[in-house]
A and B are shown apart, each in its own frame.
Chain A
Amino acid sequence: MNVPFTHFYGSCLALAFAGYKDGILVDKQEEFQVLALHHPLGFSCRVSILLLMADKRKRATAENDSDEDDNGEQPMEAPRKQAQAALAFRKRLKPDNAILATVRKIADSAKSYKPQTQSLADLNLPNACKEVVDLSCASVMAEIEKTIINIARSILGGNGFGYSVPSRSSANQLYVQELDRIVLKDKASFRPFANMASVRKTTITTRILQLVHQLCKKQIHVTKRDLFYTDVKLFQEQGQSDSVLDDVSCMLGCTRSSLNVVASEKGVVVGRLVFVEDGDRIDCTKMGVGGKAIPPNIDKVKDMESDALFILLVEKDAAFMRLAEDRFYNRFPCVIITAKGQPDVATRLFLKKMKTDLKLPVLGLVDSDPYGLKILSVYMSGSKNMSYDSSNLTTPDIKWLGVRPSDLNKYKIPEQCRLPMTDQDIKTGKDLLEEDFIKKDPNWHKELEVMVKTKEKAEIQALSSFGFQYLSEVYLPMKLQERDWI
């Protein structure tokens, strides 16, 4: 524990020093990638800096947590009772080996499980659907050039121009039971240039096409923010260039990664995973407590190897940090991954790749509130915004490990750690009850009903009321032992 800490601080300082010396001032996350590619020190240093940042954040949360605990003025009896309850669960824990045996069984069954290779084409759905594929730079360029030539001809012919853009509105979305994900129907709208309502979008689309064309020609990657800054005056807000970027990838029929535009990295992974990124071998057990940032460019990730028994998907940074620091993955061989909230494309691609390459069961650890479930749903069925690419982004068959609404009573979470749901929460919960992806699994539906009925929510951190390490030392082992997931 101590050795890596000092080591990391050392290297961070070294990098900071090197950075200043080289005149590269590093203060924005999206700059890291460029740094990693071009800086002579390589990206191990980059990881260190990220770690430093993550570490700071972690400390802040830890301090907050302890503050809350100190402030809680409770009668002396209550904590004692809680401690007893916690102890009771601890006593019921079998030795690790026994737990591991049960987990191994499930892992084996997952290995033998053949993923359904159904695609949209096999299903013969009544309405045609729009799906995109990964395209090489050359094909993306060809597509763009084709579009531009058509436009140029139309303009020279005196007819103005416009784009036919697939609609990404929720009316054009379809949940396909057989595939367990959302797909995009084929409705498209025409955006003419000479129309007040669409002139802006059409102009931005043209500009983005030109920029992507350049990127593909030079074969480099930029972040969405970089793209925005190339023409701030026209784009005005990053939201506008981002949404047109999705339109463009939809229009050209390729994934967003094929456009060579990536989101800045957000997800982190740690645990029993070894892979090769752009030629560098990365061992995720030796990533300290901060973990390895998930590369935005999944094409460069190759040769995944692992002796893990399962993948633990964590909603939040704080829980991830706890598990990483306690080296949970050494006690129970696993890979821990988090996207720190709503998952980005890179994390979803990475999870999908892990799942297909390693064939491991995925267990989800999210807050017991409607948003926790929503996050799970995005991993599993895809988001509406990116439904055109759902085949690449979704990881079906994630097990809901916790924290489930029924766990609140089962694990005797004290009242002061439960929060009343706001009206907005309850509304979101009720809406979710109507969603197909919840309905298809009666167990999930039942759990959500419990939540909406009791009108109580709790975060993963609620488990800390029994001690900070309760999550890693009692709750998760207990869950694994009981195979308590749905």
Chain B
Amino acid sequence: MASEKERATPSRKSKASKSKDSILKQKSPAEFFSENKNIAGFDNPGKSLYTTVRELVENALDSAESIAKLPVIEVTIEEISKSKFNSMIGLLDRERLDEELYGDYETEKAREKRLAKEAREQEKQAKAAAAGKKVKDSNAVKLGKGRGEALFYKVTCKDNGRGMPNDDIPNMLGRVLSGTKYGLKQTRGKFGLGAKMALIWSKMSTGLPIDIWSATRGQSFISYCRLDINIHKNVPNVHIHEKRSNEEGWHGAEIQVTIEGNWTTYRSKIINYMRQMAVITPYAQFLFRFVAATPDKNISIRFARRTNVMPPAPAETKYHPSAVDLLLIKRLIAETLKQNLLQFLQHEFTSISKFYAERLIGEMGPEFTPKMPVKSLTAQQLVRIHQLFRQAKFGEPTGECLSPAGEYNLRLGIMKELHPDMVATYQGSVQVFEGHPFLVEAGLSLGGRDVKPGLNIFRFANRIPLLFEQGGDVVTRTATKRINWNSYKINQVQDKIGVFVSIVSTKIPFKGTGKEYIGDDIKEIASAVKSAIQQCCIQLKSKIVRQQQAHDRQQRKRNLSKYIPDVSRAIYGVLMEMADGQKSKKVKYDDDADDLLKKVALHQITESTFIQKLGQHVEQVDAEMALEYATQSGMVDTAREPIYLRTLESDYKFALELHNPVCVMKLFSDF
């Protein structure tokens, strides 16, 4: 990303130099992002609010996980009315003097129109009410917000993570593109902008600084810092930086930022995000609160912790030779501590052993030797190395550096948030695209609370939910187009299907400017996603079939009995005709038939005889089938699910043992 930005900045410079002749302007990274804020997901106030929340939450998770602490995260969004905002920035509320000056001034004509319309509405409603229909509460006529009527929110995110060292706080938050996450590993962040972009946005929309409270573990004080950013210089501008007492021994960070946003339009997105985050991170506890200007719109959602098992933190890894470009090789050479070429190749890349490095150097040409100092390589020689990296064959990178959520966690997450009737999970093996290892996990749920009928797709990349631009995503396309749900006895339209796919990699091949979806063009990923979903389907199919069987078993007798009268009537009808024919001596039948027909003629055998006999037969068959079913699958009607009981401490006294075929129960004696 850093290189991309470097490239982007000069191009803007040249443009500027053309239009403004000789005035050469330098643009800081912070300036670049403030002008292109849509790249980082700050397209509009609503999206900005959403992105701010997610950046803060993801930072908090990373921070807690980095010290192997179960995350506890509190997010609060507080709505700030205009007058409150004005008082915050020390601006007096002014009465409107010249009403006609404002954009939302209602002219006489418009007013008449509106009143007429409202009268019509009311009439309609009165009619509807008279007709006994439910009256929709459309009275809340939305008064169009005029221009400049911005909405402000104070977003606070508090975690129990690593915290920031006192002296680093200004630089960690006040300088764009300075970060701790630039190594090669599986990370949650997308650009390494995180909270900094939120800071730029607050600077742009409200001009208010951000507040940070932070303490590292075992630190006796809390650092408090209030700062904003000097966008032109890309340096922090510290207002207050002081130490406060830390009596509770808290560690972690709390960041508070006041920004312009739009809660109404992005409410569902933000809540969805929190919910999906809870699915993929069941070991974290989230508390999400929205404090509205009017208390009746307050929201408070608690996503409880469901497990204590946390995936290991992703390990930093080295680059795979087929995944590097020329610039990256130069950077690695500049950073390396190794002296000669052989050591450089052996230690700075994965999948190159010493023996292999020697072979590679031999292949490079006569001017290369294993002992040559790596920093002295010429530009041409680098190109040669790069070419060889492209052409040579290397072992595939291992996936040891990856940290998937794990089937266990994914399953718990799905169960905890959706409460489905059935769930299946599957973790694929590590695979590789373009030298980057990746791993696909999938979960599939059927039924559940608040789940719409049809496919509900939940996408995760490096354990963060993806909510936007679902249409082009590899998971959506695979689930809707390439899976034949019918063959797994799943009805794509009626069943409540939840598809959860989590992809983790050292490099997620995002598409689109906002990095909101994973392209469908990498066939390794597409096929891994497909097979992971299919594996889940196979697991569910057997369960569904067994449920179906159990259901059929209950229905069998009823369904079979339904047809008995039709059949009996038809058979008896033919027999009657035959008996009539026999009476009039028109036709002769053989002896056995003759006997039967006589009984029919004498009404010894009637329609009800057949009904009775068939009914008995159906009963008998049903009983046989039920017995067969029971011997096959035990007496349970639904698919078996294991349950887990916690063991008790040993200091209880038991009185009685109650025996039954399933288990033994003991009663406590001293309660």
Contact = CB atoms under 8 A, between A and B. Distances in A.
A21 B578 CA distance: 41
Residues of A contacting B: mostly: helix
15 contacts: A149-B593, A155-B613, A156-B609, A158-B616, A193-B563, A195-B621, A196-B552, A196-B559, A202-B567, A206-B566, A206-B570, A207-B570, A210-B570, A210-B573, A234-B566
CB-CB nearest 7 A-B residue pairs: A160-B617, A194-B621, A210-B570, A203-B563, A206-B570, A148-B574, A149-B593
A414 B525 CA distance: 48
A160 B621 contact: yes
A98 interface: no
A200 interface: yes
Contact of B578 (A145, A153, A193): A145
Interface in B553-593: 555-556, 559-560, 563, 566-567, 570-571, 573-575, 577-578, 589, 592-593
B334 to A, nearest CB: 55
Nearest to A208: B570
Interface string A122-164: 0000000000000000000000110011011101101110000
B577 A214 contact: yes
A195 B560 CA distance: 7
B608 to A, nearest CB: 12
Interface of B: 552, 555-556, 559-560, 563, 566-567, 570-571, 573-575, 577-578, 589, 592-593, 596, 605, 609-610, 613-614, 616-618, 620-622
Given A160-B621, A193-B567, A203-B567, A210 B560 contact: no
A210 B552 CA distance: 30
Given A203-B563, A203-B567, A145 B613 contact: no
Given A148-B571, A155-B571, A214-B577, A193 B566 contact: no
A209 interface: yes
A148 B563 contact: no
A152 B559 contact: no
Nearest to B580: A217
A318 B563 CA distance: 47
A214 B616 CA distance: 29
A14 interface: no
Contacts of B556: 196
A159 B621 CA distance: 10
Interface size class of A (residues with CB under 8 A): 20 to 34
B574 A155 contact: no
A145 B570 contact: no
A34 interface: no
A398 to B, nearest CB: 40
Nearest to B597: A149
B567 A145 contact: no
A134 B618 CA distance: 37
Given A196-B560, A199-B559, A210-B573, A152 B592 contact: no
B593 A209 contact: no
Contacts of B616: 158
Nearest to A146: B593
Given A153-B592, A155-B617, A194-B617, A200 B563 contact: yes
Contacts of B552: 196
B571 A206 contact: yes
Contacts of B573: 210
Given A158-B617, A160-B614, 4 more contacts: A149-B596, A151-B571, A160-B621, A193-B617
A160 to B, nearest CB: 4
B563 A199 contact: yes
A155 B592 contact: no
A292 interface: no
Nearest to A210: B570
A196 B549 CA distance: 11
A149 B587 CA distance: 15
A196 B556 CA distance: 6
Nearest to B552: A196
Given A145-B589, A194-B618, A213-B574, A152 B567 contact: no
Nearest to A155: B613
Interface of A: 144-145, 148-149, 151-153, 155-156, 158-160, 193-196, 199-200, 202-203, 206-207, 209-210, 213-214, 217, 234
Nearest to B572: A152
Contact of B596 (A152, A194, A196, A200): A152
Contacts of B577: 213-214, 217
Nearest to B611: A155
A153 B575 CA distance: 11
B620 to A, nearest CB: 8
A149 B614 CA distance: 15
B596 A153 contact: yes
A194 B561 CA distance: 9
Nearest to B605: A156
A85 B605 CA distance: 81
A234 B570 CA distance: 12
A243 B618 CA distance: 26
A326 B369 CA distance: 93
B617 to A, nearest CB: 4
Contacts of A210: 570-571, 573-574
Contacts of A148: 571, 574-575, 578
A202 B566 CA distance: 11
Given A194-B621, A207-B570, A210-B574, A156 B613 contact: yes
Nearest to B609: A156
A193 B614 contact: yes
A153 B578 CA distance: 15
Nearest to A138: B587
A145 B593 CA distance: 9
Contacts of A203: 563, 566-567
Contacts of B610: 152, 155-156
Contacts of B596: 149, 152-153, 156
Contacts of A156: 596, 605, 609-610, 613
A330 to B, nearest CB: 53
A209 B622 CA distance: 27
Contacts of A202: 563, 567
Contacts of B589: 145, 149
A152 B571 contact: yes
B592 A199 contact: no
A129 B528 CA distance: 48
B162 to A, nearest CB: 58
A155 B613 CA distance: 6
Contacts of B618: 160, 194
B606 to A, nearest CB: 12
Contacts of A194: 560, 617-618, 621-622
A70 to B, nearest CB: 42
Contacts of B567: 193, 202-203, 206-207
Highest count of chain B CB atoms <10 Å: which of A152, A153, A158, A199: A152
A153 B613 CA distance: 11
A145 B559 CA distance: 28
Nearest to A141: B587
A190 to B, nearest CB: 14
Contacts of A145: 574, 578, 589, 593
A209 B574 contact: yes
B555 to A, nearest CB: 8
Contacts of B622: 194
A210 B571 CA distance: 7
B619 to A, nearest CB: 10
A349 B617 CA distance: 44
A201 to B, nearest CB: 10
Contacts of B566: 203, 206-207, 234
Nearest to B563: A203
A148 B574 CA distance: 7
Contacts of B621: 160, 194-195
Given A156-B605, A214-B577, A209 B617 contact: no
